[in-house]
Chains A and B, each alone.
Chain A
Amino acid sequence: EDQVTQSPEALRLQEGESSSLNCSYTVSGLRGLFWYRQDPGKGPEFLFTLYSAGEEKEKERLKATLTKKESFLHITAPKPEDSATYLCAVQERRDDKIIFGKGTRLHILP
């Protein structure tokens, strides 16, 4: 069964304390892997798309990487405004179906 698993479920960091969020996936063929940010009571906001193993994308304090089995979202020197739930989604090549993970709730303490 195709699955997307994110870890940890929740993460509390001090401001400036860098860390990584994990998204592991099992699909028959990957068309793309997406990272989204979701603030409470709002819709997900697109961050990155990764298409092939070895690819990396960066935006401000965030950097996303991709291997054949997992993706990491690295957060460097986070600030309180980076607090949100980060969702990973995988699109299958077979039928273009998109599967979301449950997300990682990130809380950055000032």
Chain B
Amino acid sequence: DAMVIQNPRYQVTQFGKPVTLSCSQTLNHNVMYWYQQKSSQAPKLLFHYYDKDFNNEADTPDNFQSRRPNTSFCFLDIRSPGLGDAAMYLCATSRAGTPYNEQFFGPGTRLTVL
């Protein structure tokens, strides 16, 4: 089945220790998104790629970076995690340019910062 896969599902890191989260998709969608979701809050868009074009949200901290080496993969790098970065990180994809803009989400990576 076509899907969005995130690894790892659970990540524990130490304060200030860089961490990388990965996302892969078999849907061949041209848009990929990274969201941060804290408990009982709305998913907050960090950035998205439209094909290779990177779009950063204005309020996304510089501590967060992203890479998309090809259509299928996208990475979220947190350079120096703080306690406030503990959250669920969601990857999503969509096919832009069609009437159907719904996003398909991965299962998420739960990040704990010690």
Contacts and interface: CB of A to CB of B under 8 A. Distances in A.
B107 interface: yes
Nearest to A31: B101
Given A41-B108, A43-B107, A96-B96, A87 B42 contact: yes
Main secondary structure of the interface of B (DSSP, over half): loop
Contacts of B43: 44, 87, 100
Contacts, number: 53
Given A44-B43, A87-B42, A49 B100 contact: yes
Nearest to A39: B107
A45 interface: yes
Nearest to B100: A49
B106 interface: yes
A31 B45 CA distance: 18
Interface residues of A, number: 24
Nearest to B9: A41
Contacts of B102: 32, 34, 46, 49
21 contacts: A32-B101, A34-B103, A41-B110, A42-B108, A43-B6, A43-B90, A43-B92, A43-B106, A43-B108, A44-B103, A44-B105, A46-B102, A46-B103, A49-B101, A87-B42, A87-B43, A97-B45, A98-B103, A100-B44, A103-B42, A105-B40
Interface of B: 4, 6, 40-45, 88, 90, 92, 96, 99-108, 110
Given A4-B42, A41-B108, A100-B44, 19 more contacts: A31-B101, A32-B101, A32-B102, A34-B102, A41-B110, A42-B108, A43-B4, A43-B107, A44-B43, A44-B105, A46-B102, A46-B105, A49-B100, A49-B101, A89-B103, A97-B45, A101-B42, A102-B42, A103-B42
